[in-house]
Amino acid sequence: MLSFIARRCATGLLMLVALSLLIFVLLRMAPGDPIDAYINPSVPMSASDLETLRDRLGLDQPLPLQYIGWLRAALSGDFGYSIQRSGVQVLPLVMERIGPTALLMGMGLAIAIIVGIAAGIYSAVRRNAWPDIAMSVLSFIGISSPAFLTALLGLYFFSVLLRWAPSGGMQTAGAPFSISDVLAHLILPACLLSIGHAALIMRYMRASLLEVLNQDYVRTARAKGVREFWVIIKHATRNALLPVITLIGSTVGIAIGGAIFLESVFNWPGMGLLLVNAVGTRDYPVIMGATLVIGVCVILVNILTDVAYAFVDPRIQVA
């Protein structure tokens, strides 16, 4: 197990390097000169001043040397300084946004996992009955709804029309911090984030459980007189969870994309809102730093997903 984890971590490091190289190249391929993000257009600068600034920032070097210099500094924990926030280092700026994003994604995925697995089990047990048909229709709607549409509709109906939840932010402006206030602001975006993932998990859980219920060992357990509840929960559900675990691990990256839209709509002070603002202002160091941190989180979750396989199904041997 330890050697497997070590190999997966080594693979993850290579993926991070490839990701950083891809983002670096794409940013340099964007229209315009990167130096434009560092200067105030209302303040005239001579050609010599521009060359001096370009030399100080290392933008006069070839792209491979620029990337190697950035990567060397990033490995030591130095992601540079934000362009739009004078004197603010990128790494502390990114790290302080991880907590709100982790809270939003954690709550959203927890709701999606609980609701999706429970609905999938119930739908498989009640196969072709009206609850199964109704949940299948709702799941297709949830899977087909894009994150930005779900966020806007949820904000309009539940915050503007019904006034059941705050319309944005992480806590009430000017009010003292309280857990209940944060939860009041969290519940709506978390539920909206969970819709598509819960629908997808429900479909996978239903299909996997239906396949498992036709296995010989399930029929044997029923023939031995085991109660149907324990046949479903103990014998069938555990083996049916394998594809669901794979799906949950892969949805983390998708959830980050959905969180970017939700944080923008609800003004949630997380990584998504930081990244959107950085792209809008061409804050290249913040884009690179935020993307790399997001990549680390996604790779770590995928490693944990692979490790969880062995605990869910002992038949799986880690080579």
Model confidence pLDDT, tens digit, residues 14-36: 888 888 888 888 877 777 666 76
Residue 314 has pLDDT above 60, yes or no: no
- Residue 238 or 97, more confident: 97
pLDDT band at 298 (very low <50, low <70, confident <90, very high): confident
Model confidence pLDDT, tens digit, residues 57-109: 777 777 888 888 888 888 888 888 887 777 788 888 888 888 888 888 888 88
**What residue ranges do the domains of the chain occupy?**
2-75, 97-312
Residue 10: its pLDDT value, please?
Answer: 83
- Residue 97 or 252, more confident: 97
Residue 1: its pLDDT value, please?
Answer: 63
β-bridge partners, 81: 89
Q: What angle do CA 83, 269, 256 make, to 5 degrees?
A: 95
Residue 319 has pLDDT above 60, yes or no: no
**Range scoring the smallest mean pLDDT among 152-156, 166-170, 248-252, 289-293:** 248-252
Model confidence pLDDT, tens digit, residues 136-181: 888 888 888 877 788 888 888 888 888 888 887 888 877 787 888 8
**Superfamily of chain region 97-312:** MetI-like (1.10.3720.10)
Q: How many CB atoms lie within 10 A of CB 269?
A: 17
Residue 117 has pLDDT above 60, yes or no: yes
Residue 50: its pLDDT value, please?
Answer: 72
Per-residue DSSP letters for 28-91?
A: HHSSS-GGGGGS-TTS---HHHHHHHHHHHTTTS-HHHHHHHHHHHHHTT---B-SSSTT-BHH
Calculate the alpha carbon distances from 86 to 32, 80, 82 in Å: 22, 11, 7
Max intra-chain CA distance, the chain: 88
Q: Kindly state the tokens that stand for 34.
A: 């990167």
Residue 310: its pLDDT value, please?
Answer: 59
- pLDDT, mean of residues 263-289: 83
Residue 115: its pLDDT value, please?
Answer: 92
d(CA 123, CA 233): 14
Residue 317 has pLDDT above 60, yes or no: no
Residue in this structure with the two tokens 């996978």, named with its chain if needed = 204
**Range scoring the smallest mean pLDDT among 56-70, 117-131, 270-284, 298-312:** 298-312
Calculate the alpha carbon distances from 211 to 136, 207, 237, 310 in Å: 17, 6, 11, 21
Residue 284 has pLDDT above 70, yes or no: yes
